[in-house]
Structure 1
Amino acid sequence: MRRRWIYPLALIAVVLLGASLLVVTLNQPHSQGYTKVYFESDIFPRVEPNRTYELAFLIESHEEDVSTYVYAVYLDNSSIETGKVTLNPGDLHRIQFSFSIDKVDYSKRVLLNETRTLKVNGSSDVVGAPRAYGIDLAKFNLTGEDLIHVLENFPLMYVTNETSIIVNTTNGTSISDVSMRKDGDRLIETRREFNLTRSGDGYVLSLRTLKVEYVPRPVEIRVVVVSSSGEKYSLRALLESGG
């Protein structure tokens, strides 16, 4: 009876001993040294053109021997600073660098790209479209030659989607217009192309609207540090840009 308890107790002891050794092993400090590389602050400025900014990173050596570190700082893909520093165990070295940008780069996104076409045969087909001197032609019973006479001899205002384009058909049948507005840091470009083509006893009106959003691309700061033991350390930060 006593022997029956010996094996379970021995197994439990082995399991407990193994768990204890595992915990101790995981919590033991590293037998070898190590290095820490980090930015001095995790708060970064918003970058604007033609202004100089300063940042810093730190190299903290906890190696067992003297170590030499070679570092390079990149602004986007361009190297802006390189150097070398030798540290004793326990040393902390601060490296400051400065940078600036000439202009803000933008990423492009199409918000709207549509073409509207309207066949104009008479006043009943001119719903919400051309206006002569601000007069809605749809309110008048203009057909045939009378309508063509108005289209050919008077500046027209074409209104759609809150967009107004003035067209003088006596000088040409096509016109393009580009406008740009700022919305915070974004730029909104609106390009409109208006075409008026004779078709039988009427006209074909077409309006292409292209609206594009330009959003500032962030500026990338990258730091690469290589120690004399061959270890490589990298830092990366994306900074908002504007202005």
Structure 2
Amino acid sequence: MSVHHLLMIEDDARLAEMVGEYLGQNGLKLEHRGDGLSGLAALQVIDPQTLPDLVILDLMLPDIDGLEVCRRIRALPGAAAQIPVLMLTAKGDPMDRVIGLEIGADDYLPKPFEPRELLARIRAILRRQGHGAVEAPSQALRFGSLEIDRDARTVTVAGQASELTSYQFDLLVALAERAGRVLSREQIMEAVRGRELEAFDRSIDVHMGRIRAAIEADPKAPKRILTVRGVGYVFAKQQD
């Protein structure tokens, strides 16, 4: 059984050491970088096999902030751009969390946090990344020009690749596999086996906005992922 390798970009060395010890006791290996630029340098490797399985990214860093680091990660070439990012944010500042999700973070955790919750979030992301959100046949899902390949974890529209984070891909699959069914936010999140969110947490809506931007011809007038006011979302069955 392989050991998951994580990268933590965090300027608090003591916190990083404690997190590393705790995660190590639970079968995870943590590499630490103390600033944004050195963290990015650790991701710019020739061999993709040496990339971490997940990045834990602090929002407040001494050189460039975590939001900019996340933007640069998503702009890296190849597999590095697809690495899941768990962002650590200041407690009580929901706007930072929303912005983080909008630029490509997969999840967030407010400081201070319990190590057990951090571990649970990490395991949920790794589970989604390695095994997908739901058990499904290997064939791709096709809706007109939209193709969702569950094995390759890719999305194309008219043959052009659409960029989604790991979590957003799983959200899209959960909706597409239930095309025509109206799902509440809670049902969607349960389908992807993610963390439970408060009913009014904006993160699920932020993710849906990102997915629409990736697959809809006009995200402001979506035809595939429709909002059902007061309920949730539905993936429309119609073809292009």
Give the structure with the larger strand fraction: 1
Greater relative contact order, per chain length (Cα 8 Å cut-off, separation 6+): 1
Larger Rg belongs to = 1
Q: TM-score, normalised by structure 1?
A: 0.19
Give the structure with the larger helix fraction: 2
Q: TM-score, normalised by structure 2?
A: 0.19
